[in-house]
Amino acid sequence: MPDAELTAPTVENVRVVVRVRPMDQREKLDGSYNCVSVDALNNTVAVTRNNVTPPEPPRVYAYDAVFDSNTSQMDIYVQTASPIVEQVLKGYNGTIFAYGQTGTGKTYTMAGSNTAPELRGIIPNSFAHIFSHIAKANEDEKFLVCVTYLEIYNEEVRDLLGNNPHQSLEVKERPDIGVFVKDLTGYVVHNADELEKIMVVGNKNRHIGATAMNTESSRSHAIFSITVESSKRGSDNKMHVKMGKLHLVDLAGSERQSKTQATGTRLKEATKINQSLSVLGNVISALVDGKSTHIPYRNSKLTRLLQDSLGGNSKTVMIATIGPADTNYVETISTLRYANRAKNIENKTHVNSEPGDALLTRFQQEIDQLKKQLDECTNEEEVEEEGEGELSEEDLSDDTLTDPEADVLDPTEKKIRRKLRREEKEKLNREKAHLARKVLEEKKAELQRTKKQQEELKDKLQRLESKVLVGGENLLDKADAQRRLLEQAARELEQRRLNELRLQEDLQKKEAERLDLEERYSSLQEENAAKTRKLKRAVQLLNSAKAELADQQREQQREMEGILDSVRALKREIQLADLVLDSYIPKEYQALIEQYVHWNEQLGEWQVKCVAYTGNNMSAPHHANTHAHSKHIEPPDLSDRYLSYGAVSSRPGTRLARPHTSAVPRPHTALRQRQ
Ligand code: ADP
Ligand code: MG
């Protein structure tokens, strides 16, 4: 039976942490000064602007954890990602996303550097973590690990592991499995090295756009998803499946396009990228607001795909990355404020037990079916082998029948009759022998076919079984070193935690002593001094509030400019659409169309009424926007996950076979999987 405790939903907030990267060479050469200071004990980040009159107080923001520029990749993993991966291994959904201005370390945090094991980021470290867990699990536990990698560029979804990374894929929704990307390629992986190779292939496909700000700047959002399914026999002697899904998200730069000096195509690109980040902001605002009944998830591909991660069924951590230089003051404040709001998002999480779309269940069923087929084949073969002798020599032997009339016939006639009978018998025997040989040959051919089928079934069974990982198997290979590093980092962290605890206790003791002393002041002078201090603190608070107000106004102005940019871009698009319409569709038809359209709120698209009767939609069966198609709800099968086949011998990992028990798949087959 599934554990009732695990299936009950728990409510928890999105965890938000901040990471500051070190000052880079260019910033040092430019003479920038460090405007960011991190207080790891109180988990706050303070940003101070020098050279302003009147002087401004530092802006201080508190988070769940803060990391200064000396924090190692391993520490980041152990303190932010590791707890999420642990939960994913228990069957929860998890999301880790990096948000921040271009060049502040989002990709460094998520992917890291290949040059040394200790510089690897969250994605490769999570591979080592997952496979080390499988290696340590009991033998009675089975696992299946599957990955997808996609990017959202210009509001178009692209498959980074597919045959054509330029093809735009559709985001769809089904009542049973929720939002998914149609035709997305999924790989079943057997070890951390394989996963790593897949990541490298995907990264190569990632669209990198150069901007004036950073030539390596990524203009796309990338989502690397790992699904871990595990099955275990319960006390009811049945197998129980759990499925945890981990989204590792490297968002596009959060900076406003004015800073990147974008023009033309790049401007349009930037507007769209900002648009999807703005929607992310709106979703966060609506979730935090508490009064909003409508969360605008549908307004961008990013928020649709991450719907569960924000306000849904997912353990989520947001890593906000910032740079230390004063030149980025405005962007840094903007990132910190954005991240601060996200802290208040509440998610409701539960273990995904017995999920309808678990591959492990399907594979196990297929394996059982194949085993049964194989058994049947073997039995048939045995029966056939036994029966092979049935038409042997016995049938071909000479018959010695006695003739009842033999005594009454004269010798000549007897002789003739005997001769005739012998001839007849010989003929019959020849025919029998011929028939028997034919039957024998047919049986042999059938036996050959059965044997071949059996071989194919065995082959298929072996391939399916190889996808399912058994607990305790050593799958770590080269990643073993990575796992050891992680474990060492975890031990060191524990040690530091204990030290911090000791320090904090000391601090509390000193604070108590100080308060004790303060309480004992008696003279008016002391009271006066205390009151002055209080007043100073009040003035400080007032100044902070004023500064906060100014920040908010600046932020609003900034958002307004972004929205206006989008409006301008959209206006241009509408004008173009109008031009096309006016040139090709007569005015009276336009009026007719306008009369018969209505807005479908659920799908977020215009639909023409009664278009099914016009026959228009029949010529374009793949067009998703026709009324007939958009109303159609697909039956809850998993066919979307298994679409096309193709040779992928040059690719790492195993591409999945379409689950088809009677046919034998080609050597390398592909699985298209929902997101
Ligand atoms: P983003 O993905 O946010 O645009 P990158 O991850 O590409 O930024 O980082 C920009 C540069 O800064 C890279 O050269 C990267 O190696 C370096 N960098 C970022 N964060 C750190 C860090 N914490 N420690 C050392 N170098 C860093
Ligand atoms: Mg990047």
Rounded to whole angstroms, the Cα distance separating 485 from 457 reads: 42
Please tell me if the CB atom of residue 335 comes closer than 6 angstroms to any atom of ligand 1. no
> From the CB of 190, is ligand 1 less than 6 Å away?
no
Instruction: Give the number of residues written for the chain.
Output: 675
The residue ranking higher by pLDDT, 463 or 657, is: 463
CB atoms within 5 A of ion ligand 2 belong to 106-107, 218
Chain centre to alpha carbon of residue 224: 5
Q: How confident is the model at residue 628 (pLDDT cuts 50, 70, 90)?
A: very low
Q: Which conformational region is residue 311 in: left (phi greater than 0), alpha (psi within -120 to 50 degrees), or beta? A: left
Residue 522 has pLDDT above 90, yes or no: no
Which is more confidently placed, 178 or 623?
178
Per-residue confidence (pLDDT) for residue 1, from 0 to 100: 46
Look at residue 212 in the predicted model and tell me its pLDDT. 35
In the reported structure, the alpha carbon of residue 395 is separated from the centroid of ligand 2 by a whole-number distance in angstroms of 82
Q: Nearest-CA neighbor of 335 among 120, 511, 101? A: 101
Percentage with pLDDT > 90 across the chain: 25
**Residues of the chain by 3-state class (helix, strand, coil), percent to 5:** 50, 20, 30
User: What is the position in ligand 1's atom list of the atom closest to the CA of 24?
Assistant: 12
Which pLDDT score is estimated for 521? 61
Tell the residue nearest (CA) to atom 22 of ligand 1.
Answer: 21
Q: Which of 21, 74, 118, 251 to mutate to test the pocket of ligand 1 (most atoms within 8 A of CB)?
A: 21
**In the Cβ-directed half-sphere of 611, how many Cα atoms lie within 13 Å?**
22
53-96 pLDDT per residue, tens: 777 888 999 999 999 999 999 999 999 999 999 999 999 999 99
Instruction: List pLDDT tens digits, range 437-481.
Output: 888 888 888 888 878 877 888 888 787 777 777 776 655 555 677
Which helix (H) or strand (E) segment is 231 a member of?
Answer: strand 221-233
260 in ligand 1 pocket by Cβ < 6 Å?
no
Q: What is the pTM of this model?
A: 0.69
33 contacts: CB under 8 Å, gap ≥ 6: 50, 325, 326
Given a contact cutoff of 8 angstroms between Cβ atoms, the answer to whether 256 and 562 are in contact is yes
Q: What is the mean predicted confidence (pLDDT) over 513-526?
A: 72
Q: What is the CA(114)–ligand 1 centre distance, in A?
A: 13
- Does the CB atom of residue 209 touch ligand 1 within 6 A? no
What tokens were used for 60? 């201080």
Residue 72 neighbours by CB under 8 Å, 6+ apart: 118, 489
Ligand 1 pocket check for 105: Cβ under 6 Å: yes
Closest atom of ligand 1 relative to the 69 alpha carbon: 23
Which pLDDT score, from 0 to 100, does residue 661 have?
Answer: 33
Q: How far is the CA of 109 from the centre of ligand 2 (A)?
A: 9
Average pLDDT over residues 363-371: 78
Contact 322, 101 (CB under 8 A): yes
Q: Is the CB of 673 under 6 A from ligand 1?
A: no
Ligand of minimum distance to the alpha carbon of 27:
1
Q: pLDDT tens across 140-150, in order?
A: 888 999 999 99
End-to-end CA distance of the chain: give it in Å, rounded. 28
Residue with tokens 């990017």: 151
**Whole-angstrom distance, CA of residue 402 vs CA of residue 406:** 8
Q: Which residues carry a binding-site annotation?
A: 100-107
Q: Encoding tokens for residue 100?
A: 């921040």
Backbone torsions φ then ψ of 147, nearest 5 degrees = -125, 150
* Minimum mean pLDDT range among 372-381, 582-591, 628-637: 628-637
Ligand 1 atom 11 nearest Cα: 103
Q: Residue 106 pLDDT more than 60? A: yes
pLDDT confidence tier of residue 606, bands split at 50, 70 and 90: confident
Beta carbons of 266 and 211 less than 8 angstroms apart: yes
pLDDT tens for residues 378-430? Answer: 666 565 555 544 444 444 444 444 455 555 667 788 888 888 888 888 889 98
| DSSP of 626-638 | SHHHHHPPPPS-S
Q: Can you give the pLDDT at residue 641?
A: 35
Ligand 2 centroid from CA 508, angstroms = 41
- Tell the burial category of 89 from Cβ atoms under 10 Å away from its Cβ (0-12, 13-18, 19+): buried
Taking only the tens place, the pLDDT of each residue in 276-303 is 777 888 888 888 877 777 888 888 899 9
What is the band of 326 on the pLDDT scale with cuts at 50, 70, 90?
very high
**Pocket test residue of 108, 113, 216, 328 for ligand 1, highest count of atoms within 8 A of CB:** 108
Band (273; pLDDT cuts 50, 70, 90):
low
Q: What is the pLDDT of residue 336?
A: 95
Count other C-beta atoms under 10 Å from residue 516's C-beta.
9
Q: Rounded CA gap, 353 and 242, in Å?
A: 4
What's the pLDDT at 362? 77
SS3 for 78?
helix
573: pLDDT confidence band, cut at 50, 70 and 90? confident
The pLDDT assigned to 406 comes to: 54
Residue 647's pLDDT is what?
Answer: 28
